[in-house]
Structure 1
Amino acid sequence: MGTVYILKSQVNGRYYIGSTFNLETRLQEHNSGKSKYTSLTIPFELVFSQNYNSIQLARNIEYRLKKLKSKKVIDRIISDGVIKLGW
């Protein structure tokens, strides 16, 4: 199983999109500074997560979301509580 997640930095309010097979461990890694990209903007809060049948599918969804680079889409996902694949 894989999970797509969205974190929000409590320092600058920016979002980070990721995917993992163990959300709890990955969130701890982000907040302890073990993730190079997010280490300067910790702490993070988890604002969204959605599970998928495989890590490969979760990574594909993560890639598609990052490619969009749209705060509007991320805000809509968070408010709707679901990633809709039909965009």
Structure 2
Amino acid sequence: MYFVYILFSTKTRKYYVGSAENLESRLRHHNSGLTPYTKSGAPEWSVRYSETVENRSLALKRELEIKRKKSRRYIEWLIASSGSTG
């Protein structure tokens, strides 16, 4: 199983969309400051949304689908519609 996730940094007030096989490990990695794109938001990233998919290929496809929206409004709608409060 793989996860598609949306993180939010209270430090930068930004969202990050990604995918991973191990969500907890990936969150620790983002919060360690070792990921260039999310370094500025570390160590305050938290999972606001996640969904489970069958394999890596589907995870990457769904990740790109969300990213192509290029919309903070869509991301916030997705989070709200999932019932997740982060």
Tell me the SS of whatever aligns to 2:36: coil
Amino acid at match of 1:27: L
- Where do 5+ consecutive residues of structure 2 fail to align? none
Aligned twin of 2:23: 23
Q: Identity of aligned pairs, percent?
A: 37
Question: After TM superposition, where is structure 1 displaced by more than 6 Å over at least 4 residues in a row?
Answer: none
**How does 1:22-61 map onto structure 2 within 5 Å?**
22-42=22-42, 43-61=44-62
In 2, Cα distance between equivalents of 1:65 and 1:17: 8
CA-CA distance at 1:67 after TM superposition: 1.2
Query: For residue 28 of structure 1, what is the amino acid of its counterpart?
Result: R
Specify the alignment match of 1:4 in structure 2: 4
Report the Cα distance in structure 1 between the residues aligned to 2:82 and 2:56, rounded to whole angstroms.
20
TM-score, normalised via structure 1 length = 0.89
| 1:41 Cα deviation after fit | 1.4
One-letter code aligned to 1:4: V
User: For 1:1-60, what per-residue CA distance to the aligned partner results, in whole angstroms no more than 9, with x for missing partners?
Assistant: 110000001112110000001101000000001111101111201111100011110111
Aligned residues: 82
Q: How many angstroms does 1:65 deviate by?
A: 0.9
**Contact 1:2 1:56 (C-alpha < 8 Å) held by counterparts:** no
